[in-house]
Amino acid sequence: MIRFDQSKRRLANFAKYLPGGVNSNFRLGISPTPLVFERAEGPYLYDVDGNRLIDYYLGMGPMILGHNPEPVLKAVTEQLKYGILYAGQSEIEFEAARLFCEIVPCAEMVRFNCAGSEVVQAALRVARAATGRSIIVKFEGHYHGWLDNVLWSIAPTPDQ
């Protein structure tokens, strides 16, 4: 039988400093309880209760290669020798943009962002500018970032 006693206890403690014990409203709706993880490897997440779970969320998107894939771990470790964040341009940023445009035929240019919420907002702005429309259709019950215009109705009840 799978148990979540440690996650529940830790969430109660986390709630002293994090609303609801979590750092994202989307995590509040997880049943039977939001989980507390301590590590991940490949397709698996390991929680504080010792459960090994398949990460079907893929970190909500960016973990498509799994957790800690050796080529990514090696490349990140190597890059850390040269710095983490320059707040300016670099050759590696240019190379990533060039490769992306080569791999994705319809991508003429790219803009990198730090979070999915930023990407969603940029896409909404581009869509509004390109179409001249102001109304946006959003999938019911889906999470599209934490900003006000998309953070609503992410966990509807069955009657909604």
- Confidence band of 121 (pLDDT split at 50, 70, 90): very high
Same-domain check for residues 17 and 79: yes
Average pLDDT over residues 110-122: 90
Same-domain check for residues 65 and 130: no
Q: Cβ distance 115 to 61 under 8 Å?
A: no
Residue 36 sits in which domain range? 1-84
Same-domain check for residues 151 and 107: no
**Is the model's pLDDT at 159 over the cut of 80?**
no
Same-domain check for residues 80 and 10: yes
CA distance 67 to 73: 9
Select the more confidently predicted residue: 33 or 30.
33
Indicate the pTM of the whole model.
0.74
- Confidence band of 38 (pLDDT split at 50, 70, 90): very high
The string of pLDDT tens digits covering residues 54-76 is 999 888 788 899 999 999 999 99
Residue whose structure tokens are 């490769």: 99
CA distance 144 to 26: 10
**pLDDT at site 145:** 82
Q: What are the residues whose beta carbons fall under 8 Å from the beta carbon of 100, sequence distance 6 or more?
A: 107, 110
Q: Domain ends where: 40, 63, 84?
A: 84
Give the long-range contacts of residues 114-118, CB within 8 A, separation 24 or more. 115/145, 116/60, 116/61, 116/145, 117/145, 117/146, 117/147, 117/150, 118/145
**pLDDT at site 7:** 96
Same-domain check for residues 72 and 4: yes
CA distance 59 to 67: 9
Same-domain check for residues 121 and 92: no
Helix, strand, or coil (residue 9): helix
Q: Domain ends where: 64, 84, 104?
A: 84
